[in-house]
């Protein structure tokens, strides 16, 4: 699937560059569209500033998403994004504090206790499922033929679930928050985000997008899992209207050649 995606991007990019090189003087006086529809396919790397008493290290997670929007010529962009994260933390956590060991013994008797350097406890893995949707507004303060700079602002709503399991038996482990209380792993949250966007126009149809910023959880329903943290993002912005015209033009050219033969 990823190979097909790369081929499509390559085809659109190559044809877009050829199209740009063939722009005539007549084309240059055509007024640009006030609103342009585009679709951003991105991959965000985000770092959650974890405050759990079990594990104080920050959690780095990949978030995949798509953002469809309308860009007003040289001024601002309005969009709606959908994002999903689903995976393991990539490392095991050794739980040895007496309070948590007692909680595991009581609530997860199937878990297998271990001893590391003479200290008894439980070795666990953690996984995260997170989904959120967010309307976005981007103020564009610089716009040229090749580069666009903007400040994106997002406020949305999401759902998350963190699961700890015993390393050996795969038994679910009760989760505790930074106050030392066992809580439901499900959580509903409302994130706000502000960042800095750099868009490099590779052709009339495709642009490379790079972004970096900070995310703050402004409200939650349930006990906090603390998803505050920094993020950086890379992706491609596609202009479906241009792509559609280009594909149609290429097909028509191919069809006409076929008829002449």
Report the pLDDT value the prediction gives residue 139, as an integer from 0 to 100: 96
In a domain, residue 86? The reply is: yes
What six digits make up the tokens of 214?
Answer: 């900070």
Tell whether 128 is covered by a domain.
yes
Check residue 229 and give left, alpha or beta (phi > 0: left; psi -120 to 50: alpha). Answer: left
CA-to-CA distance for 226 and 92, rounded, in angstroms?
A: 20
Residue 5 has pLDDT above 60, yes or no: no
More confident residue, 98 or 260: 98
Domain-embedded: residue 163:
yes
At 17, is the secondary structure helix, strand, or coil?
Answer: helix
Q: Give the domain CATH number at 8.
A: 2.40.160.20
| pLDDT given for residue 232 in this prediction | 87
The 10s digit of each residue's pLDDT in 20-66 is 444 444 444 445 568 888 899 888 876 655 544 444 445 567 788 99
Answer whether residue 26 is part of any domain. no
Confidence of residue 16 (pLDDT cuts 50, 70, 90): very low
Predicted TM-score (pTM) of the model is 0.69
Instruction: Give residue 166's pLDDT.
Output: 87
Q: How far apart are CA 93 and CA 258, in angstroms?
A: 64
pLDDT surpasses 80 at 240 = no
141 in any annotated domain: yes
DSSP letters along 23-71, please?
--HHHHTSPPPSEEEEEEEEEEEEEE----SS--S-EEEEEEEEEEEEE
Question: Which range marks the domain in which residue 109 is found?
Answer: 2-20+33-260
Return the percentage of the chain with pLDDT > 90, whole number.
Answer: 22
In a domain, 72, yes or no: yes
Question: pLDDT at residue 129 above 50?
Answer: yes
Average pLDDT, the chain: 76
Structural domain tally of the chain? 1
The pLDDT, as a whole number, for residue 106 is 84
Position 28 in a domain? no
31-45, 75-89, 244-258: the lowest-pLDDT one: 244-258
- Least confident window among 60-64, 78-82, 198-202: 60-64
**Does any domain span residue 197?**
yes
């Amino acid at each position: 699937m990823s190979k097909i995606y790369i081929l499509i991007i390559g085809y659109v990019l190559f044809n877009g560059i050829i199209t740009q090189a063939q722009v005539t003087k007549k084309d240059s006086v055509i007024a640009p569209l006030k609103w342009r529809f585009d679709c951003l396919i991105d991959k965000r790397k985000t770092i959650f500033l974890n405050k759990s008493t079990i594990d104080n290290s920050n959690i780095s997670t990949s978030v995949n998403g798509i953002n469809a929007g309308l860009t007003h010529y040289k001024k601002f962009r309005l969009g709606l994004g959908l994002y999903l994260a689903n995976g393991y933390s990539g490392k095991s956590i050794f739980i040895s504090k007496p309070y948590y060991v007692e909680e595991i013994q009581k609530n997860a008797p199937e878990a297998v206790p271990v001893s590391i350097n003479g200290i008894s406890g439980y070795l666990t893995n953690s996984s995260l499922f997170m989904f959120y949707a967010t309307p976005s507004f981007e103020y564009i303060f610089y716009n040229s033929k090749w580069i666009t700079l903007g400040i994106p602002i997002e406020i949305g709503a999401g759902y998350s679930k963190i699961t700890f399991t015993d390393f050996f038996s795969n038994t679910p482990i009760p989760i505790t928050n930074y106050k030392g209380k066992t809580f439901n792993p499900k959580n509903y949250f409302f994130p706000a985000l502000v960042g800095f966007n750099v868009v490099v126009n590779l052709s009339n149809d495709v642009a490379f997008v790079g972004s970096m910023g900070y995310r703050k959880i402004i409200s939650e329903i349930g006990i906090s899992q603390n998803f505050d943290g920094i993020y950086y993002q890379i992706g491609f912005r596609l202009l479906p209207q241009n792509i559609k015209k280009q594909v149609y033009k290429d097909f028509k050219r191919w069809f006409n050649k076929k008829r002449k033969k």
